[in-house]
Copies of this chain bind each other. A is one copy, B any other.
Amino acid sequence: MKIEEEIKQEKFRSEHHKLMINLLFTSSWLQRMQMSVMRPYDLTPPQYNILRILRGSKGEMVNLGEITSRMIDRSSNTSRLIDKLVIKKWVSRKTCPNDRRQSEIYITQEGLKILEQLDKPIDSITEQFHFLSVKDTKEVNQFLDQLRNQNLNQII
């Protein structure tokens, strides 16, 4: 369904306004897809995001601030998310000996196993994007990057 039909709105103030709504709507739809895949594994998208960041760090310790700065959702409350992952024993938290303010986090073997199980289902979501050519995909990526940088010129 086109966005007009999805939210039952025939007219928009402009094509650009429609795009803004469409972005928000589609993102919300994507998140629901992810959730439906993760739910059986007792995992949520932000928790999954943290596990992916830790796996990407190849077993290295990563401090909490570093994780936050790499999250898809910048306003995630990483501290409390880590709490939940620690309870499930998928990550472990240690105070950094060099700087006791920091806590260093790493993914456990169990955490890695959960991630492995999720790789395929998550990939199948990404496959939904494959109808778009690589060239066009790059263009949309570029558009999104540019959009976020418009900000610098207008607000500041």
Contacts and interface: CB of A to CB of B under 8 A. Distances in A.
Nearest to A137: B15
A26 B29 CA distance: 14
Interface string A16-41: 11111111111111111100000000
A68 to B, nearest CB: 11
Copies in the complex: 2
A contact residues, range: 35 or more
A127 interface: yes
Given A3-B141, A124-B154, A141-B18, A9 B70 contact: yes
B7 A71 contact: yes
Contacts of A26: 23, 27, 144, 147-148
